Amino acid sequence: MAVSAGVERLMNEYNRFKNVTLNDLFDKDENRALKYAIEFDGLYYDYSKNRFDDNVLQALFELAKEHHLKERIEAMFSGEKINITENRAVLHTALRNFSGKPVMVDGVDVMPEIRRVLAKMKTFSDDVRDGTFRGATGKKLKNIVNIGIGGSDLGPFMAVQALQKYADKEINSYFISNIDGTACAEVLNKIKPEETLFIVASKTFTTIETLTNAKTCRAWLVEALGESAVKNHFVALSTNAKAVAEFGIDVNNMFEFWDFVGGRYSMWSAIGLSIALAVGFENFEDMLKGAEAMDKHFRETELEKNIPVIMALIGIWYNDYYNIHRYGVIPYDQYLKFLPSYLQQLDMESNGKSVRLDNKKITDYATGPALFGGAGTDVQHSFFQLLHQGTEPVPVDFIIPAISLNESGVHHEILLANVLAQAEALMKGKTVEEAAAELRAAGKSEVEIEKLKLNKSFDGNRPSNMFVIDKLTPYTLGMLVAMYEHKVFVQGVIWEIDSFDQWGVELGKQLALKILPELQGKAEAKHDSSTSSLIARIKKVRE
């Protein structure tokens, strides 16, 4: 984002606007809430509690136009190789394309292959769930263990937790991701081999964590049931048939996807098999349909009414003009507890970059913020102190279903009251005078009031987005996730980075491969003195 006319205009807007508060904006315009809200397919997005006015918004839309956002959106959907450092198309949207229209990559329509794998996933998940496909001893497969990491874990894990209400209660879903042997051991301790299906989920089928965990699980199964049982108990999700065969999984038991599906964008592909097994293929398909609805909205709606575009531009406004490089996502829904960790990868692995598409180092603006979050109301009792009274504001997304999947007594009303209260409190704050008056009304002495009034005041003016979904369903989950995918994409376009590669994860992997034989005593450690002494210290304890 070199200093263009758009950037300059926004800098001027910032200088004009920076001291205007949210309270000022609401006092001035009683229609603000309705003016800055969008309703789409069961999703209500209220973005009025953000620090902008019409002029700021206009300048942000101009910035998007300056970056040819509409054309870039089209380029993504139509299969252009926009992941330039890996020379790949970016077509997670094709995985949820039910329009019947072709999607071309290198002159070939990818849709027939996508439909073929979806049909195979349907047959397989139906067969496992109804007991047509059984374990080697004839037992029903009731434990589903997904072995994968990063993009091959976080999406299915988050979705299976989110859709628990829709899951078959006879099926137990487990996820093994970490190389830490504890991850494997704790799952294997709970299950019986004859009732277990292992899904080895790895796009490349070279990832050390996944292959090591899969080997351990395979050995455990073979020890109990023999080599011939592998075909009934192991399937693979991958783009790499050769490596799957070498590992010892029949390629007939492999569900393919393709290099135009990025790891962290892959839960819509074969990587979603554990979701289909847990909740049934129809629900999995509904999730794809929800995402497709958001895709259509994103692709076809003018920028000014486009939910992911508005989210992205507001994020850019805080990140690059207010210099706030943090961002919170707080679902008020127990089922969405793991959405923030999923979004952490989506956002931070996509936009945590400092090299531009034109191959220049970024030195004069910030890209992706640090994202964190957790489920409300739990997190009100942990990090919300900082959100309310920390020295810097943290823009927050709140997500809440109007109707709970477990409406019982007053629980949901209390939950709803809390999310609305938090957003209001962050925005309005409490002046020192108000705090003093409250203390006075509570009978405190003037000395006590003096001592406490500042601590009990809140600056306010802290922005948030509010997303109200009617109810959490596979469809609304699909919509929400696709919405965040597109938000991340738009920000990448404006920051002029490749949101679809992840070179930043490589250096640590390389060094770990060097350190491993050193720890094992097979090679001599040659590092900086800190790393060398740590290796020596750990070796000594382990001996």
Cα–Cα distance for residue pair 243/143, rounded to 1 Å: 25
Rounded (5°) CA angle 390-395-399: 120
The single-letter code of the amino acid at 137 is: T
CA proximity to 166, closest of 72, 277, 41? 277
Residue 408, classified by CB atoms within 10 Å of its CB into exposed (0-12), middle (13-18) or buried (19+), is exposed
Name which of 96 and 203 has its Cβ closer to ligand G6Q: 203
- How is 349-390 classified by DSSP, letter by letter? HHH---B-TTS-B--SS--PPEEEE--TTGGGGTTHHHHHHS
- SS3 readout for 525-542: CCCCHHHHHHHHHHHHHH
Q: Find the catalytic residue in 256, 285, 292, 349.
A: 349
**Least gap, CB of 345 to ligand G6Q (angstroms):** 6
Tokens 């047959």 — which residue?
123
Name which of 181 and 504 has its Cβ closer to ligand G6Q: 504
Name which of 285 and 347 has its Cβ closer to ligand G6Q: 347
User: Which position among 6, 79, 151, 155 is part of the footprint of ligand G6Q (CB under 6 A)?
Assistant: 151
Q: Find the catalytic residue in 411, 451, 509, 514.
A: 509
CB 15, CB 21: distance < 8 Å: no
Name which of 261 and 294 has its Cβ closer to ligand G6Q: 261
Task: Identify which range of 171-179, 197-205, 378-386, 460-468 contacts ligand G6Q by CB under 6 A.
Answer: 197-205
Site string for ligand G6Q, 489-528 (x = CB under 6 A): -------------x--------------------------
**Least gap, CB of 256 to ligand G6Q (angstroms):** 13
Contact flag: residue 149 with ligand G6Q (CB under 6 A): yes
**Least gap, CB of 515 to ligand G6Q (angstroms):** 19
Name which of 152 and 404 has its Cβ closer to ligand G6Q: 152
Contact flag: residue 6 with ligand G6Q (CB under 6 A): no
Contact flag: residue 150 with ligand G6Q (CB under 6 A): yes
Go through the chain and tell me how many residues it has: 543
Site string for ligand G6Q, 246-275 (x = CB under 6 A): ----------------xxx-----------
Q: Find the catalytic residue in 101, 169, 361, 381.
A: 381
DSSP 8-state code for residue 464: E
CA proximity to 237, closest of 208, 212, 267? 267
Question: Which helix (H) or strand (E) is 124 found in, with range?
Answer: helix 111-130
**Least gap, CB of 407 to ligand G6Q (angstroms):** 37
Task: Identify which range of 16-24, 198-206, 283-291, 318-326 contacts ligand G6Q by CB under 6 A.
Answer: 198-206
Which stretches of 317-361 are DSSP H helices?
339-351
**Least gap, CB of 326 to ligand G6Q (angstroms):** 22
**Least gap, CB of 505 to ligand G6Q (angstroms):** 7
Cα–Cα distance for residue pair 483/467, rounded to 1 Å: 11
Does residue 349 carry a catalytic annotation?
A: yes
CB 515, CB 533: distance < 8 Å: no
Parallel/antiparallel/unpaired status of strands 396-401 and 326-331:
parallel
The single-letter code of the amino acid at 521 is: G
Contact flag: residue 155 with ligand G6Q (CB under 6 A): no
**Least gap, CB of 121 to ligand G6Q (angstroms):** 17
CB 81, CB 89: distance < 8 Å: yes
The single-letter code of the amino acid at 122 is: K
Contact flag: residue 51 with ligand G6Q (CB under 6 A): no
CB 420, CB 380: distance < 8 Å: no
Cα–Cα distance for residue pair 463/478, rounded to 1 Å: 26
**Please, which contacts does 37-42 make with residues 24 or more away whose CB atoms are closer than 8 Å?**
38/305, 38/307, 38/310, 40/297, 40/307, 41/293, 41/297, 41/479, 42/469, 42/470, 42/471, 42/475, 42/476, 42/479
Site for ligand G6Q, residues 325 to 384, rule: CB under 6 A: 349
Cα–Cα distance for residue pair 462/428, rounded to 1 Å: 8
Site for ligand G6Q, residues 88 to 147, rule: CB under 6 A: none
Contact flag: residue 210 with ligand G6Q (CB under 6 A): yes
Name which of 271 and 423 has its Cβ closer to ligand G6Q: 271
Total of residues contacting ligand G6Q (CB under 6 A): 14
CB 135, CB 229: distance < 8 Å: yes
Task: Identify which range of 6-14, 68-76, 170-178, 200-208 contacts ligand G6Q by CB under 6 A.
Answer: 200-208
Site for ligand G6Q, residues 455 to 494, rule: CB under 6 A: none
Using DSSP's 3-state secondary structure scheme, residue 173 falls into strand
**Least gap, CB of 170 to ligand G6Q (angstroms):** 28
Nearest residue to ligand G6Q on Cβ basis:
150
Contact flag: residue 177 with ligand G6Q (CB under 6 A): no
Contact flag: residue 207 with ligand G6Q (CB under 6 A): yes
Name which of 42 and 352 has its Cβ closer to ligand G6Q: 352
**Least gap, CB of 151 to ligand G6Q (angstroms):** 3
User: Which position among 48, 125, 152, 274 is part of the footprint of ligand G6Q (CB under 6 A)?
Assistant: 152
Catalogue the active-site residues. 349, 381, 509
Residue numbers of the site for ligand G6Q (CB under 6 A)?
A: 149-152, 202-204, 207, 210, 262-264, 349, 502
